[in-house]
């Protein structure tokens, strides 16, 4: 029982860490000379790195908002899990925790989809997708599975 609990919490935290890294690290689209992400664009010329703030279009702001919302909902879900662990009666399901985690995964999915479809507006054609972008796509099924486990799980004593 304890092993199961630890495993679920580790899965949840892994999804959360992926979300954090994906949102913060500047590697959504890269090429050998520059990297750009949701917040800044950096260029490296002759060893000198120059960064300036990203384009302020409507779509990139939507992606920023969705990534931040997914992080908030995942943190809320973790907090709710510990609350429900102590207050739920025996045999009850962690519906609320699972709902928040599934919502977080849906937000990441929407953000990644919007970025994929609309990034031709602000990204140079010579750039290709970096690891932050891939981590965002990996975080989506991870968070979704974690949420499903919470919904299916029943509390035992």
- Binding interface with other proteins (CB under 8 A): 53, 56-58, 61-62, 64-66, 68-69, 72
Give the residue with the Cβ less far from other proteins, 46 or 53: 53
Give the residue with the Cβ less far from other proteins, 75 or 138: 75
In whole angstroms, how close is the CB of 96 to other proteins at the nearest point? 10
Give the residue with the Cβ less far from other proteins, 68 or 118: 68
**Exposed/middle/buried for 6, CB within 10 Å: 0-12, 13-18, 19+?**
exposed
Give the residue with the Cβ less far from other proteins, 9 or 118: 118
In whole angstroms, how close is the CB of 145 to other proteins at the nearest point? 23
Identify the three-state secondary structure at position 154.
strand
> What single string gives the DSSP state of each residue in 40-106?
EEEEEETTEEEEEEPP--HHHHHHHHHHHHHHHHHHHHHHHHHHHHHHSPTT-B-HHHHHHHHHHHH
In whole angstroms, how close is the CB of 69 to other proteins at the nearest point? 6
In whole angstroms, how close is the CB of 18 to other proteins at the nearest point? 20
Q: Residues 12, 18, 24, CA angle at the centre, nearest 5°?
A: 135
């Amino acid at each position: 029982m304890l092993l199961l609990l630890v495993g679920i919490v580790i899965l949840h935290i892994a999804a959360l860490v992926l979300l954090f890294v994906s949102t913060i690290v500047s590697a959504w689209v890269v090429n050998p000379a520059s990297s750009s992400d949701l917040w800044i664009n950096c260029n490296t010329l002759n060893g000198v790195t120059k960064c300036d703030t990203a384009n302020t279009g409507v779509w990139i702001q939507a992606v920023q908002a969705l990534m931040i919302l997914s992080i908030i909902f995942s943190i809320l879900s973790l907090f709710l899990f510990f609350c429900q662990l102590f207050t739920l009666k025996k045999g009850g399901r962690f519906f609320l925790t699972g709902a928040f985690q599934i919502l977080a995964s849906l937000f990441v999915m929407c953000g990644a989809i919007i970025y994929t479809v609309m990034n031709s507006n602000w990204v140079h054609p010579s750039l290709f997708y970096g690891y932050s972008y891939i981590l965002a796509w990996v975080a989506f099924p991870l968070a979704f599975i974690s949420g499903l486990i919470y919904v299916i799980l029943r509390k035992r004593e």
